[in-house]
Amino acid sequence: MSVSGRDTESHLSIINRHMCAIVYVCDMQTNRIVFSNGFANQELGIEKGQSCCEDVYAYSERCSCHSNQRLMDNPREVLHSQWYNPKVDRWYDRRLQAVPWTDKKLARLEILFDITHLMRFSDDMPHQSAYSRLILESIGDGVIVTDSTGIITMMNPQAQRLTGWLGSSGVGQELSQVFHIINTQTREVVENPVAKVLTSGKTVGLANHTSLISRSGVEYHISDSAAPVKDKDGNIHGVILVFRDISEDYRQQEALRRSEERFRTLTETAINAIALHEIILDDQGLPVDYRFLEVNRAFEELTGLSDRQLVEKTVLEVLPGTEKVWIDTYGEVALTGVPQEIEDFSQELEKYFTVRAYSPRRGQFVTVFEDITERKQMENRLREQVYRDSLTGLHNRRYLESQLPNLRGKEHLPISVIIGDVNGLKIINDSMGHQKGDEVVKRAAQAFLEVARPGDLVVRWGGDEFILVLPRTS
């Protein structure tokens, strides 16, 4: 029995009017709809002239236009997938195929069957995999699923964006072709994580310095893990790879690491002794001790103690003679954050220091020590030279004048003053020479020192004159 062309068209028209399937055709160059059946308009409002990206898929990564190239390269291939339309809250079984259209062009035929009623939440329902797929496509991390040979069977939108393999272009490819990863620092190719999983049957992760090179050459710093997909009997059917872009975090961490390295290098090569500490408080919140957290080489040389002897130890453990003033001062810096500069003598180390202390964070403080012992000793020697008589070693007139304000206190009263001189010093100098005169002056100075009490002030006023100041005498 033969069927005429007229009958065929009539039959197709009847089928088109009554079948419960959404059917439409898109121009694969413009992605404009060139044909749609009545059910497509009734269910989704699809009309001729609309854009599939804008009007049907609302610019979703799941738009079927991403399959255009694959369809044109393989005209006889039918692509099958499930699609969830959030606008109407419906699930569809989707079939795509390239078909000849006018002007000998290929167009994309799309047929959608509503399978919402088949979507259930039990393990034995055949479309549960579609729901699981929706979950994978909705998460913010990139997800790639492979079969047991490492061939990609699914990529979610984020994975497509990061790898640069959009739509289904990566499906059917070997993972190494799509997921090209290298060591960020050495630039060497990193071993395929899926291969590791298939070999070991265990979940694996990437090293810290791993970069993904996308299809377009863009580089992303990523973290990832790959896990085997097993059935109830433990058989491996594939691998699921989950990864995310951590480029910004990586840049910040690397910047922090480089900053810390520069600081550590600067600290280790510094001439001044530098140490990081944490303050230790008592139950009332008062500083009672502090612990060494980090010290540089100069600090080890200063104290004569190695970092092993210092780090994690308290100052009173390693330097038990440390004065309380240092602990109180550092405690104030650590708790208030106000930096201080201190100049003092350390009895424990028997040295003078200028110490600059600041707090990098509450409860901690950094000390930068400058050994000023030589300078202080020189200052003391100069001060002695200024206030001492070079011939007799007694204090001089300038020193007495500097001490007068201190002698006005009640604790020194009453005060007695004895003034004396050496008779005939000029005659001795003229007749026997100044050297003999100097010896007489020295003996006179010694005589004053021998009768002076502790706390009395013996001064050579000048020439042959001496003054003896006696506090608390009448």
Q: Which of 461, 472, 462 is nearest to 400 (CA)?
A: 461
Task: Clarify whether residues 407 and 339 are in a common domain.
Answer: no
For residue 105, what is the domain's CATH number? 3.30.450.20
Which domain, by its residues, includes 344? 271-374
Report whether 214 contacts 162 (CB < 8 A): yes
Give the model's confidence band at 122: pLDDT under 50 very low, under 70 low, under 90 confident, else very high: very low
State the Cα–Cα distance between residues 40 and 45, nearest whole angstrom.
Answer: 6
The reported pLDDT for the residue numbered 337 is 93
With respect to residue 318, please indicate whether it lies within any of the assigned structural domains: yes
Q: Residue 325 has what pLDDT?
A: 87
Per-residue confidence (pLDDT) for residue 4, from 0 to 100: 58
Same domain, 441 and 370: no
Say whether pLDDT at 364 is over 90: yes
pLDDT of residue 123 exceeding 50? no
Structure tokens, 194? 């899926």
Q: Which of the residue ranges 118-127, 304-313, 419-428 would you say has the lowest mean pLDDT?
A: 118-127
If asked whether residues 20 and 92 sit together in one domain, one would say yes
Query: Could you give the number of structural domains in the chain?
Result: 4
The better pLDDT of the pair 55, 138 is held by: 55
Q: For residue 86, count CB atoms less than 10 angstroms from its CB and return exposed for 0-12, middle for 13-18, buried for 19 or more.
A: exposed
Domain identity same for 98 and 176: no
Please tell me whether residues 233 and 295 are part of one structural domain: no
Mean pLDDT of the chain: 84
The CA distance from 465 to 419, in Å, is 7
Tens of pLDDT along 137-182?
A: 667 788 998 888 888 888 888 899 999 998 888 888 889 899 999 9
Whether 209 has a pLDDT exceeding 60, the answer reads: yes
pLDDT at 1: 47
User: pLDDT tens, 33-46?
Assistant: 999 988 988 888 99
